[in-house]
């Protein structure tokens, strides 16, 4: 989705490149599983996870790939994709009903699995 949604869908490929440059101390860190969890040999033992993606988001495939890796490692993971939504749609609850819905699901997940 970095190519498919590179421009015109809110979060752009170039902005994500900038964020990666800020996040990683060096180019070598891009292959470090501590910085990029999907590169880990195993994700076994990680806690219950909720992964929320948006259809028109440069990060959609990364998020869904991470959820798949969690599942393959035997982790309890729930993946929810919101079709028709852009990155950050949760912040527009007053505009998108799915923003309200996603926020509520995230809140319930946290409360159910991690307490009050």
pLDDT tens-digit readout, 58-82: 999 999 999 999 999 999 999 999 9
The pLDDT score that the predictor gives to residue 116 is 65
* Across 4-31, average pLDDT: 83
The pLDDT score that the predictor gives to residue 42 is 93
The pLDDT score that the predictor gives to residue 2 is 64
Confidence of residue 86 (pLDDT cuts 50, 70, 90): very high
Question: What distance in Å separates the CA atoms of residue 97 and residue 7, rounded to the nearest whole number?
Answer: 24
Question: Is this structure's pTM higher than 0.95?
Answer: no
72 near 66, Cβ under 8 Å?
Answer: no
Question: What distance in Å separates the CA atoms of residue 96 and residue 10, rounded to the nearest whole number?
Answer: 15
């Amino acid at each position: 989705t970095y190519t498919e949604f590179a421009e015109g869908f809110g979060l752009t490929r170039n902005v994500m490149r900038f964020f990666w440059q800020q996040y990683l101390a060096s180019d070598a860190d891009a292959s470090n599983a501590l910085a990029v969890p999907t590169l880990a040999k195993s994700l076994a033992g990680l806690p219950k996870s909720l992964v929320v993606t948006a259809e028109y988001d440069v990060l959609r495939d990364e998020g869904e790939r991470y959820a798949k890796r969690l599942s393959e490692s035997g982790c309890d993971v729930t993946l929810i994709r919101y079709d028709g939504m852009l990155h950050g749609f949760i912040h527009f609850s007053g505009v998108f009903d799915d923003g309200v819905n996603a926020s509520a699901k995230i809140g319930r997940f946290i409360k159910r699995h991690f307490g009050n």
